[in-house]
A and B are shown apart, each in its own frame.
Chain A
């Protein structure tokens, strides 16, 4: 019957083992059998990796210190917090507005400074337009700026320059460099090099070549990145404020510290609203670029 033939000569249980399959497949048997090659070719290595991964997950679950009574207590406490938060209190809206405006200032200053610094760093970190040594330096700066989460950077700056918005600005400058310089450097590496060649052929000096042949090509991306970064910095400024770097995050942390859950909820609502608004605005602007 036909099903057996679809399966092929070697896999059907009713085909005599050995002789028939082996002899025909060498020369004339139709090549009708195919299996996707395994991700890890060596079967021993494959089972070691998969088995090891499964064992590790089981072991972690087994040793996870979950204290069920405390989980139950926590749910209860969370209920109390949410209960205390309703209705949200806008009584001290003066404080709220001050905090929010400070966050906005932090975000704008950090975007301005961060983008300004990002541009030369991005040029340094573009493999196609600078000597190898400069390229490594540029990449190193970006890697350092990217390797720490803003909260960690904020803790360091709060220790260094004290509580307040200055620490927030410095933190977000580092954060902006990590993102903007990296993306911009990648864009520079994708430019049409013919335009650079044309300037070189005219004997243009280095900076003039960059200004005429590279900057016009990366300008649209640069503008888009700046707007995105402003949006992103506004969000991050709320987070770094919690560790003392100023802005509405600090206001929020204080409200929690004083068990003013209703005020905290009001702040949270304002933050969410502001982020939604900024995302809509920046999305609209970037769409039109």
Chain B
């Protein structure tokens, strides 16, 4: 269970990006966070695994308080939090297998990492997961030879290699074409069910949020102003979340789509 309470993040001395935010995610649900650019979605996600330092407040994952961890303790906690990125963040010059195994870096020694002597179990798990998402035949290819959708599959497998207790996805489909993007969303939903894994997805595409997630959280100016089942996201709620933003116009076609 992920429990965020009274979370504040302020960059420098300006207006806080996150304002006393509370959010609880239980069980193996897929939760999407929507909101216009600058609403604080990315910052929220990055506060959870501390790529961004929260200013104040508390975040606990299965009863571990994350906000005060340092050094080795922080790394141990991060191992339990998988992350999928918008730009994939694969190491282009390494093979797909090395990229996938980099999800295990928090578990294996630096020497083993340097010499690429991965534990047998890790290699087996890597092949199973790659098989599951359909990229096993690329194991020896360099990551930059793959297409966008395949690269994001590598990103997902890398995160799953951590045996995470929660998966964070920061705009995982924003760099992909519509069809591939739906495939990745479907994959994230199915994997969540199969692995009994809670998944938290930042997403711009409201249609995909409704289609593939169990719960939608709407953010505006650093606050959560909507938190409900996808069915409950009506035009009025959309207007509140996106009022006066370009994303509202894009989501205009939503009524026909759903």
Contacts and interface: CB of A to CB of B under 8 A. Distances in A.
B51 A197 contact: yes
Interface string A200-226: 111111011101110011010000000
Given A194-B87, A198-B89, A212 B98 contact: yes
B76 to A, nearest CB: 6
Contacts, number: 91
A82 B158 CA distance: 70
Contacts of A204: 75, 102, 105-106, 113
Interface string A217-249: 101000000000000000000000000000000
B81 interface: yes
A149 to B, nearest CB: 36
A203 B105 contact: yes
Chain A residues touching B, range: 20 to 34
B162 interface: yes
B105 A208 contact: yes
Interface residues of B, number: 38
A195 interface: yes
Given A201-B83, A203-B78, A205-B75, A212 B105 contact: yes
A199 interface: yes
B91 A213 contact: yes
Contacts of A194: 85, 87-89
Given A197-B85, A198-B83, A211-B110, A216 B105 contact: no
With a 10 A CB-CB cut-off, give which of A195, A197, A198, A209 has the most chain B CB atoms. A198
Contacts of B103: 202
B49 A195 contact: no
Interface in B34-58: 49, 51
Contacts of A216: 91-94
B257 interface: no
B83 A211 contact: no
A200 B87 contact: no
Given A195-B90, A208-B113, A211-B110, A203 B85 contact: no
Interface of B: 49, 51, 72, 74-83, 85, 87-94, 98, 102-106, 108, 110, 113-114, 155, 158-159, 161-162, 168
Interface of A: 192, 194-195, 197-205, 207-209, 211-213, 216-217, 219
